């Protein structure tokens, strides 16, 4: 049994390993935290304003929105809600389906609540393995995690595929669409909420808005579906710093637009480098690119670390042998990462 393996500290290095915003949060978010006074810190936070403004930003009703302590908490809440329903009606252990390769927290949370983790192996091209996901669904299926764009591949999933999965899950089961990287491609399953009551969408303000350290996430769904998650999330889950910073970050639209453009340009830089070098890669809808270095992946990751650039080896993930995931944020940072990569490969040749 394994919990989440937190990567080693990377003090002083260029962090291209956790898909964080390499430009930092909006200065307005920093100012909002600095403006808090002693009483603001002493009182339990009020959420009316942050809920109203976040719902407006997302284009949903406040009754469809649950703010969480990072999207990780939303994922945990969905897993707990799933297990809770099962215990309540005396049914057998719930199945949680996770198509691989996937974000680690789905497996961590499924195991934590005693669910049976059902993994689906990836296709070679990392396109969504719709048929295999559909075959994995049984009457015991209570939760299916779908990540679009996926992490660690960056591959986007068609809305029609997500809809097919939602239509196949047995009554009482949920499809959790993790849109942590929505900001970098615009794809969303939110329109499915009109027709389906078993879809919930997860968002985070860690990646596009640069609030990873504050922990701010959101789960969106129909009010009756979200109810099961509301029973699980503690009442003051979002701390006051996160609440005021989130409001400020959402209002600073220009910064998100600028950062999104940096990410797009950064991805193109990585693609161009890979094409020039003949290194396989996957086109990404996110703020990172997965590239297949091959046998020397470990050596390359270590060589980059010695040059002050941290990237993440993903060889341990299904279908990702020899792969390295590199964050593509600010163009200058991406360029520095690629220069170091070039140096490491030349030194090895
Ligand atoms: C980063 C990430 C999260 C976690 O977001 P937090 O708000 O930092 O908890 C969730 N899902 C995926 C796919 C991610 O990459």
* CATH entry 3.40.640.10 includes domain 27-251: yes
Compute the C-alpha angle 284/289/290, nearest 5°: 110
State the distance between the two ends of the chain, measured CA to CA, in whole angstroms: 39
Q: Measured between alpha carbons, how far is 302 from 256 in angstroms, rounded to an integer?
A: 32
Report the distance separating Cα 205 and Cα 158, nearest Å.
23
| C-beta of 183 in contact with ligand 1 (< 6 A) | no
pLDDT of 88 reads 60
Pocket mutation for ligand 1, best pick of 102, 103, 181, 209 (most atoms within 8 Å of C-beta)? 103
Residue whose C-alpha is closest to residue 264's, from 256, 276, 252: 256
Which of 17, 206, 237, 312 gets mutated to test ligand 1 (max ligand atoms within 8 A of its CB)? Answer: 206
Q: How many CB atoms lie within 10 A of CB 284?
A: 26
pLDDT along the chain (349 residues), means of 10: 68 92 98 98 98 98 98 98 74 90 97 96 97 97 97 98 98 96 98 97 98 98 96 97 98 98 98 97 98 96 96 96 98 98 89
This prediction's pTM = 0.96
Report how far ligand 1's centroid is from the alpha carbon of 61 (Å): 23
CA 286 to centroid of ligand 1, rounded, Å: 12
Task: Write the residue with the smallest CA distance to atom 5 of ligand 1.
Answer: 71
Residue 151 CA: which ligand 1 atom is closest? 13
70-73 long-range contacts (CB < 8 A, ≥24 apart) are 70/204, 70/206, 70/212, 70/215, 70/216, 70/217, 71/178, 71/180, 71/202, 71/203, 71/204, 71/206, 71/217, 71/218, 71/219, 72/105, 72/215, 72/217, 73/215, 73/217, 73/233, 73/237
CA gap 12, 308 in Å, rounded = 8
CATH classification for the domain delimited by 14-23+254-348, as one of 1.10.230.10, 3.90.1150.10, 3.40.50.150, 3.40.630.10: 3.90.1150.10
Cβ pair 219, 77 in contact under 8 A:
yes
Judge if the beta carbon of residue 147 lies within 6 A of ligand 1. yes
Domain residue extents for the chain: 14-23+254-348, 27-251
pLDDT at site 203: 98
Distance between CA atoms of residues 74 and 93, nearest Å: 21
**Placement of tokens 């969106």 in the chain:** 220
What is the reported pLDDT for 86? 67
206: Cβ below 6 Å to ligand 1?
yes
C-alpha dist (Å) from residue 171 to 162, 175, 189, 269: 16, 11, 19, 45
- Residue to mutate (ligand 1; options 71, 100, 157; most atoms within 8 A of CB): 71
């Amino acid at each position: 049994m394994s919990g989440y393996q937190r990567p080693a500290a990377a003090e002083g290095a260029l962090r291209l390993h956790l898909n964080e915003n390499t430009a930092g949060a909006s200065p307005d978010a920093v100012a909002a935290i600095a403006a808090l006074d002693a009483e603001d810190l002493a009182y339990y936070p009020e959420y009316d304003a942050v809920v109203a403004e976040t719902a407006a930003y997302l284009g949903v009703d406040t009754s469809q929105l649950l703010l969480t302590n990072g999207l990780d908490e939303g994922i945990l809440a969905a897993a707990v809600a799933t297990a809770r329903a099962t215990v309540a009606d005396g049914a057998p252990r719930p199945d949680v389906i996770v198509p691989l390769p996937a974000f680690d927290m789905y497996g961590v949370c499924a195991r934590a609540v005693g669910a049976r983790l059902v993994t689906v192996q990836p296709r070679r091209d990392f396109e969504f393995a719709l048929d295999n996901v559909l075959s994995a669904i049984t009457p015991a299926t209570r939760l299916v995690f779908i990540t679009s764009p996926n992490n660690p591949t960056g591959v986007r999933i068609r809305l029609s595929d997500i809809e097919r999965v939602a239509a196949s899950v047995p009554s009482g089961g949920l499809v959790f669409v993790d849109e942590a990287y929505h900001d970098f491609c615009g794809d969303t399953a939110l329109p499915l909420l009109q027709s389906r009551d078993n879809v919930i969408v997860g968002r985070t303000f860690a990646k596009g808005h640069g609030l990873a350290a504050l922990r701010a996430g959101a789960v969106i769904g129909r009010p009756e579906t979200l109810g099961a998650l509301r029973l699980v999330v503690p009442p003051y889950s979002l701390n006051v710093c996160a609440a005021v910073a989130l409001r400020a970050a959402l209002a600073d639209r220009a910064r998100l637009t600028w950062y999104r453009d940096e990410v797009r340009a950064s991805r193109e830089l990585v693609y161009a480098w890979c094409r020039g070098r003949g290194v396989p890669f996957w086109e990404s809808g996110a703020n990172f690119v997965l590239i297949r270095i091959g046998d020397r992946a470990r050596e390359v990751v270590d060589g980059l670390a010695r040059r002050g650039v941290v990237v993440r080896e993903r060889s341990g993930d299904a279908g990702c042998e020899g792969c390295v995931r590199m964050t593509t944020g600010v163009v200058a940072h991406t360029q520095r990462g690629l220069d170091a990569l070039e140096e490491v490969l030349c030194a090895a040749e």
